[in-house]
Amino acid sequence: MIVRIARRRQVALALTALLAAAAACQAQYHGQDARPGPLAPSVADSRAFTLVASGDVLPHGRIVDRARFDAGGWGYDFTPMLSGIRPVVADADLALCHMETVFGADGDYSGHPAFRSPPQVAQALAATGYDGCSTASNHSLDDGALGITRTLDALDRAGVRHTGTARAEAEARAVDLLQAGAAKVAHLAYTQGTDGRSTPPGQPWAVNLIDEKRVLADARAARQAGADVVVVSLHWGTEWQDEPDRRQLALAEKLTAAATRGRPDIDLVLGTHAHVPQAYEKVNGTWVVYGLGDQIPGQPKNRSGVADPRGNRSTLGRFTFAPPARPGERWRVTKAEFVPQLFDIDAGRTVDLNRAIAHGADMRGVLDRIRQVVLSRGAAEDGLVMGE
């Protein structure tokens, strides 16, 4: 069994100062049902850590054009697009993203339906503070084995870990552990399909497909390899549907119910694919995010062929984990938060809605709608709050 371990990058103290300033401004805004939580959760044990997760990075053609503009016409620069949420991402002990598309090469880039994105996306993810990305999606095979190779090579060069697709069988079988403070976190990723595309000949391991038994076997293997916390990213659900579908609900129930010697096999489930925010819910004592929404979209059209503003909305999930009181027990989520976001298509920027409202932007209607969906399955009663 191969075990890969990566350590969290150090974060500049200036980012903490920026977050503190934003928190002071945010105190003026009071939402319903879930209010912004404190900047630094009060956890006595210094071994506790925070994990931040975001949704699909899905650069449509308009987004690629914007990145070329931001680079001054020479190359592509996606870093400005994510600068609005960098303080939240970089301040976490561990930050995970979802790279939905594969990368092209030598200017051969395309959007929907077969994506080939500029590899400079990887540099932007690293600059924003992301430590790792899930890469299993319905677009993983848009450019065959070469697309997977280019994508993982670019993420490697940028120092961003990845899971869900592989260049070799040994890589597919490896347990990828990321260090978050004192904890080792395993990140696993799977997709419900690949838009009908078959895996490359002789490479059935190229993309992880969702299979309940496979997911649980991998989670248990990760635990045996030393994982204190097991995080599973699932590319699932029905596109453009606010509510989780029956398959999501059933799989979430089964995955969170699985345990070994009384300890849950999975500690957090992160969902992508729907293109709109979906509910957060505590299932069998484990947090499930059915859909984070698209962090970088491109004003895609919904199933009716109409541009849908919900596609520009998403959330960052932030979870604070504390170590067990006794050996052999699970690391506990002591605080669960969601941070609402909006992608401003005209400006080509991801907007932290809390910060925007604190500075006078009239976006409370959008924020309230996101909050309504996120809390639609009773998460507030289980302690989910809106974070800053």
Q: What is the pLDDT of residues 188-207, one digit of tens each?
A: 999 999 999 999 999 999 99
Average pLDDT over all residues of the chain: 90
Predicted local distance difference test score (pLDDT) of residue 364: 96
Tokens describing residue 53: 């997760």
The answer to whether 373 and 279 are in contact (CB under 8 A) is yes
Predicted local distance difference test score (pLDDT) of residue 304: 85
Burial class (CB in 10 A: 0-12, 13-18, 19+), 202: exposed
Q: What is the extent of the structural domain holding 261?
A: 3-386
pLDDT digits (tens, 9 = 90+) for 120-154: 999 999 999 999 999 999 999 999 999 999 999 99
Q: How many CA atoms lie within 13 A of 230 on its CB side?
A: 27
Predicted local distance difference test score (pLDDT) of residue 11: 38
Instruction: Collect the ranges in the chain with pLDDT lower than 50.
Output: 1, 7-33, 35-43
How far is Cα 95 from Cα 19, in angstroms, rounded to an integer?
A: 16
**How many domains is the chain built from?**
1
Predicted local distance difference test score (pLDDT) of residue 5: 62
Instruction: Identify the bridge partners of residue 286 per DSSP, sorted by sequence position.
Output: 283
The answer to whether 294 and 342 are in contact (CB under 8 A) is no
pTM for this prediction: 0.90
**Which residues lie below 8 Å from residue 327, measured CB to CB, with a gap of 6+?**
none
Q: What is the three-class DSSP state of 44?
A: coil
Specify the amino acid at residue 218. D
Predicted local distance difference test score (pLDDT) of residue 64: 95
The answer to whether 231 and 267 are in contact (CB under 8 A) is yes
Q: What is the three-class DSSP state of 315?
A: strand
Give the helix ranges, DSSP H, for 234-334.
Answer: 246-257
Q: What is the three-class DSSP state of 103?
A: strand
The answer to whether 200 and 145 are in contact (CB under 8 A) is yes
Predicted local distance difference test score (pLDDT) of residue 305: 85
Instruction: Identify the bridge partners of residue 271 per DSSP, sorted by sequence position.
Output: 234
Predicted local distance difference test score (pLDDT) of residue 4: 59
pLDDT digits (tens, 9 = 90+) for 37-77: 443 444 457 899 999 999 999 999 999 999 999 999 899 99
